[in-house]
Structure 1
Amino acid sequence: MRRFSMSYLTAPVASPLESIRIASEVGYDHLGLRLHPTAAADAPSPLLGNRTLVAECRRLLDDCGLTLTEVESWMIRKEFDLSHSAAAMETAAALGSPRLIAVADMRGTVEQAEIEDRFAGLAEMASGFGLGVDFEPIAHRAAGTHDEALSVVAAGTGHGAGLILDMLHIDRMGISPNALAAIDRSLLHNIHLCDAPPAPVDLETMVRHSAFDRDLPGEGALPLKGYLRALPADRPLSIEIPMMRLGDSVSPGERARRCLSASHRLVENIDGLLA
């Protein structure tokens, strides 16, 4: 049976307790949280340094029967300081055994060899907390091709390194279903599910689709059925569908509900064809 996780960007709320409640009420099996700020301007998670809140979240996760599958997100830059990561890793470990997500900075700002070196250090540090790290390749960022991403993951071999694939970025990178099927299954722990408009030619629109403006599964232009048939069906599908165009007109809970309903319809159609 397919399992679904509510990614942070699907229903972004400030309170981790509210995130857990939304995921539980809507009917998700898992969820993801943002603990580590991706950009310097991001607000720190209220969980950091708050053992009481961490314990409350862990109790609520257990009471709701939810598990934390992923924690966002480490941006690998030329200047990459791990000294601030211990608190986020300690918090993640206290909440279960989620996978940490790492992404690379924009192309031209950091070299491939530097990304591999910094990712290896991140994976080694995380392993000391009993955590694994997944590298997420993004087409418009550094290490944003299939081969480059696999090379980054290989640098973390021996420290629980993995690869997390997002349907949007699979499309933008031009990875075929056959290439997906050939990826070592042991590297794949979670898979990001979304739909999106056709690939744009300009960077600004590509970034907007990625961070702010995706579609419900089945309502965009991505060949999701081919991708999902090529990927293992026993990995959690982490629904990551930012829809900032909705503004405040649709509550985070309703967004999460619409995303899960559309995802169920998509996979039921796929699994029915494979039965």
Structure 2
Amino acid sequence: MRRFSMSYLTAPVVSPLESIRIASDVGYDHLGLRIHPTAAADAPSPLLGNKALAAECRRRLDNSGLTVTEVESWMIRRGFDLSHSAGAMEAAAELGSPRLIAVADMRGAIEQAEIEDRFAGLAEMASGFGLGVDFEPIAHRAAGTLDEALAVVAAGAPHGAGLILDMLHIDRMGISPAELAMLDRSVLNNVHLCDAPPKPADLETMVRHSAFDRDLPGEGALPLRAYLAALPTDRPLSIEIPMLRLANTVLPQERARRGLATSKRLLAEIEAAG
């Protein structure tokens, strides 16, 4: 039976307690939280250094039956510094055993060898907190091909590193369903589900689709049925659908509800088709 997780970007709210409430009310099995800032301008998570809040989050997770499957997100840049990561890792560990997400800086801003080295250090540090780290390849960023991403994961493999694949970036990277089917299942811990418009020719639109403007499953141009058929069915589907165009008109809970409803409908159609 498929399990569904509510990604942070689907219902981006500041309070982790509100995220838990939304995921529980809508009917998700899991959720993701943003604890580590992706960019320097991001506001710090209220969970950092707040053990009382972490304990209340854990209590509500236990009461609702939810688990936190992923924690965003470590951006691997040139000169990547782990010195500020301990607090976020400690907060993540208070919530159970979520997987941390790492992504790379823009293509050309950092070399592949440094990404592998820094990711290995991140995975080693996380393992000291009982946590694993997954690398998410993004088509317009460094290490943005499947082979490059697998090399990054291999560098962190001694410390339990793995891979996250996102439907949008599977398409943007040009990965075929046949290539997905041949992927070593043991490295794939999570799958991000969304739909999107056709692949654009320009970088600016590609970035916008990725970060701000995706579609509900079944309402875009991605070959989701072929991708899902090629991927293992026992991994949670993390519904990650940033829709900034709806920010002023549709509440986060309703966006989360639409994401889950359309995802379940798509899976039901696939199952009915045999």
Q: Which segments of structure 1 move beyond 3 Å, counting only runs of 4 or more?
A: none
SS of 1:82 mapped into structure 2: coil
Partner residue, 1:133: 133
Q: What is the correspondence of 1:257-272 to structure 2 with a 5 Å cutoff? A: 257-272=257-272
Looking at structure 2, the residues matched to 204 and 86 of structure 1 have their Cα atoms a distance apart, in angstroms, of 34
Partner AA of 2:245 in structure 1: R
**1:226 paired residue number:** 226
Structure 2 unpaired stretches of 5+: none
Q: Secondary structure at the match of 1:137?
A: coil
State how far apart, in whole Å, the 2-side matches of 1:21 and 1:246 are. Answer: 20
1:167 is matched with: 167
| 1:43 partner amino acid | A
The one-letter amino acid of 1:58's match is: R
Deviation at 1:247, TM superposition (A): 2.1
Alignment deviations for residues 136-188 of structure 1 (CA, whole Å, 9 cap, x no partner) = 00000000001100000000111010000000000000000111111111111
Within a 5 Å distance, the mapping from 1:144-223 to structure 2 comes to 144-223=144-223
Alpha-carbon displacement from aligned partner over 1:217-254 (angstroms, at most 9, x marks no partner): 00000000000000000100000000000122100000
Distance 1:231 1:41 in 2: 35
2:48 paired residue number = 48
- 1:189 deviates by 1.2
Report the CA distance between 1:270 and its aligned residue: 1.4
CA distance in 2, matches of 1:29, 1:4: 5
The AA in structure 2 aligned to 1:239 is I
Q: What's the secondary structure of 1:84's corresponding residue? A: coil
In the other structure, the counterpart of 1:30 is: 30
Could you say what secondary structure the match of 1:31 adopts?
Answer: strand
Q: How far apart, CA to CA, are the structure 2 residues paired with 1:51 and 1:187?
A: 32
Give the TM-score normalised by the residue count of structure 1. Answer: 0.99
Identity %: 81
Other-structure match for 1:84:
84
For residues 196 and 234 of structure 2, what CA distance do their matches in structure 1 show?
Answer: 24
Structure 2 equivalent of residue 116 of structure 1: 116
> Which amino acid is the alignment partner of residue 118 of structure 1?
R
Report the alpha carbon displacement of residue 92 of structure 1 after superposing the two structures with TM.
Answer: 0.6
1:215 & 1:3 partners in 2: Cα distance? 20
**1:246 corresponds to which residue?**
246
Q: How many residues align?
A: 274
Alpha-carbon offset, residue 271 of structure 1: 2.2
Deviation digits for residues 114-156 of structure 1 (CA, Å, limit 9, x no counterpart): 0000000000000111110000000000000011000000001
Quote the offset at 1:79 in angstroms: 1.7
CA distance in 1, matches of 2:89, 2:178: 35
Amino acid at match of 1:144: G
Q: Which amino acid aligns with 1:115?
A: I
Q: 2:103 & 2:73 partners in 1: Cα distance?
A: 7
Aligned residue number for residue 10 of structure 1: 10
For residue 75 of structure 1, give the secondary structure of its aligned residue in structure 2: strand
Give the match's secondary structure for 1:22: helix
TM-fit CA distance, 1:268: 1.1
Residue 67 of structure 1 pairs with residue 67 of structure 2: yes
Cα-to-partner distance string for 1:29-59 (whole Å, 9 max, x where unaligned): 0000000000000000000000000000000
CA distance in 2, matches of 1:70, 1:268: 25
Calculate the aligned-residue CA RMSD, in Å.
0.6
